[in-house]
Chains A and B, each alone.
Chain A
Amino acid sequence: SPAMELSPSHFPAARAAAVALGYLRYLRGGPGRGLELRELRRARRQDIDDVGHKYYLELELEDVLDKDRTVNCTAEVLYPLGSKSSAPDVQVALQGELRSTEEADKEFYDHIRSLEKELVAENIPDSHGKVPPELEPIHLLAWVASGYVIWQNSTENTKFHLAQVKHVKQVKRSDEDLQFDYVILLHEMVSQ
């Protein structure tokens, strides 16, 4: 059946956009890049027999560290029919370049490597919404991880947001990679 236009301001479209954003954060986010949805410009839904429901989205994204400009993106989110245990299939195409994070990533890497003890932190943001500036990269890294979790666990009837990083602990490694264990709180939008 043909795709039907959805109101981008209503939740059915916003749910699909949240999945696309989670996927994008997982793909392209990092300690030096936090992708946020500036606006959902257009949304359509197509019911594909024996396959599932497919959403066609036009998104306007911003990097919270580079707020003066935005990047457009198209996304397709397919929720497979009947399957509660299968992650939605997401395809994205960015129309433009995101600001390079090479410098920020290196800064983060060097900083963590320079610490005497493994990094440990909790409640990011805190109860009052504050994130200490030195923890912002760790916070944005949590967006990457939570993006993956949100993408993997979303259905057509869920809308997940990252509510808070409850705890983060750096894992000691013998090689030169950095590893962090996060406990994150996800909020599923039952709020009203």
Chain B
Amino acid sequence: LLVDFWINPSAPALPVDVRIPAVSVQSVKAFLESQGIEYSILIEDLQDVLDQEKQDMAESAQRQRSSSSFDFGAYHTLDDINEEVDQLASEYSFVEKIQIGESYEKRPLYVLKFSTGGSNRPAIWLDAGIHSREWVTQASALWIANKIASDYGTDASITSLLDKMDLFLLPVANPDGFVYTHTSNRMWRKTRSKIAGSVCVGVDPNRNWDAGFGGPGASSKPCSDSYHGPSANSEVEVKSVVDFIKNHGNFKAFLTLHSYSQLLMYPYGYKCTRPDDYAELESLGRAAASSIRSLYGTTFQVGTICKTIYQASGGSIDWSYDNGIKYSFAFELRDTGRYGFLLPANQIIPTAKETWLGLKRIMEHVRDKSS
């Protein structure tokens, strides 16, 4: 009869469960009834159940998040971004998510590490969203992360880059501020730290670095949007990056994304004198701006921070440059004021694409100089 016991007979009065092949169902039923053995049907058609389960699993596998299903052309919440960060780390063997610290409100600071091997290879740093309202930067960083991960192995430039160097990408440098722009105030710029003796909240994280700290272009007033904070590195979001980079000890480039204005700047901001590497940085900046322009004609102005916009102390690329990281650049992405911070979502991918060309140009130069 080929009956298959799922619960074996053990003692009288204890039930047994048995699977009956379809062809034998009638004879087994007849036998049980003739012997006065009570039975109930738990599963009418087992194959049905198995078929359904298989279908469910197939559908689930299709629905299962893959980076190809993440909408890079839309703005996302912090939770969504973190999910995509996890997705990239799980999808690619050379991509790893690391936590470099916590924000003031205890949100993890997640960095994507791109490394194809070696031991503490020369590295490139890229961050976005240090000013939380600059939404096109976090969005672009995610597109760029996916671009690099998915093109490794097929794109010659990315492949040779990651074969020689590591890349560390912090897509949301100011998560507390970013959440605040979603929940309360779309125009929030600073961190969300409480300031002793003030009703106002937050420090401008790009005036908080130890580079000419407290000098011109930063405010000492807590309520100001460019408040430098009580002391350099007072903001944990800044300190975490500083500590990470110092401990690593082998960074060759420090790149940071802001919006808006379409500018490509290098040090200094805290003083109006030219850096020692002025000629090389100016030339590289122009080359990168040229690469950006090649895609859609978007023009970026190139120059030192002080000359291009204004003197501003405590900025991140001044700190990185003065700490030996020669290739320090700050990008201000689209646009030039028509939409400003409220850049329409349909411009995210074009912005990310053109920005990536500029970053790639710089990274290629750094790669060539670091080998």
A9 interface residue (CB < 8 Å to B): yes
Stretch at the interface among B3-11, B82-90, B300-308: B300-308
Question: In the assembled complex, which residues on chain A have CB atoms less than 8 Å from the CB atom of B258?
Answer: 191-192
- Answer yes or no: B344 CB below 8 A from chain A CBs: yes
Choose one: A64, A163, A185, A192; the contact of B309 (CB below 8 Å).
A192
Q: Is A126 an interface position by the 8 A CB rule? A: yes
Of B135, B265, B338, the most chain A CB neighbours within 10 A belong to: B338
The distance in angstroms between the C-alpha atoms of A89 and B186, with both chains bound, is 34
CA gap between A191 and B330 in the complex, in Å = 12
| Residue in contact with B339 in the complex, picked from A10, A125, A157, CB distance below 8 Å | A125
Determine if A136 is an interface residue (Cβ-Cβ < 8 Å). Answer: no
Given A127-B75, A128-B345, A163 and B187 contact (CB-CB distance below 8 Å): yes
Interface residues on B, range: 35 or more
Partner of A192, one of B303, B315, B340: B315
Q: A164, B187: Cβ atoms under 8 Å?
A: yes
Check B339 against A129 for contact (C-beta < 8 Å): yes
- Shortest A10–chain B CB gap in Å is 6
**Complex partner residue of B261 from A125, A162, A191, CB under 8 angstroms:** A191
Determine if B315 and A163 form an interchain contact, defined as CB atoms under 8 angstroms apart: no
A14-55, CB under 8 A of B: which get 1 and which 0? 000010000000000000000011000000000000000000
Bound together, the chains give a CA A164 to CA B309 distance in angstroms of 22
Which chain A residues border B344 with CB–CB below 8 Å?
A: 125, 128-130
A161→B342 CA distance, assembly (Å): 12
In the complex, which residues of chain A have a beta carbon less than 8 angstroms from the beta carbon of B336?
A: 37
Q: Mark A149-162, 1 if CB is under 8 A from B, else 0.
A: 00000000100011
Q: Mark B281-323, 1 if CB is under 8 A from A, else 0.
A: 0000000000000000000010101011110100100000000
B342 x A163 contact (CB < 8 A): yes
Tell me which residues across on chain A come within 8 A of B324, comparing CB atoms.
none
Instruction: State in angstroms the CA–CA spacing of A191 and B310 once bound together.
Output: 10
Pair A127/B186 contact, Cβ less than 8 Å: yes
| Nearest chain A CB to B187 CB, angstrom units | 6
Instruction: Determine the chain A residues whose CB is within 8 A of the CB of B179 once the complex forms.
Output: none
Given A10-B303, A10-B307, A128-B75: A192 touches B330 (CB 8 Å cut-off): yes
Known A-B contacts A125-B339, A127-B75, A128-B75; the reply to A11 vs B332 at CB < 8 A is no
Q: B-side interface residues toward A, CB under 8 Å?
A: 74-75, 131, 134-135, 181-182, 186-187, 189, 204, 206, 225-226, 258-261, 265, 269, 301, 303, 305, 307-310, 312, 315, 330, 332, 336-345, 347
Residues of A within 8 A of B (CB): 9-11, 18, 36-37, 64, 123, 125-130, 157, 161-164, 185, 187, 189-192
Q: List 23 A-B contacts (CB under 8 A).
A: A10-B307, A10-B308, A11-B308, A18-B337, A64-B338, A125-B342, A127-B135, A127-B181, A127-B342, A128-B74, A128-B345, A129-B339, A130-B345, A157-B310, A164-B186, A164-B187, A185-B187, A190-B225, A190-B226, A191-B259, A192-B265, A192-B309, A192-B332
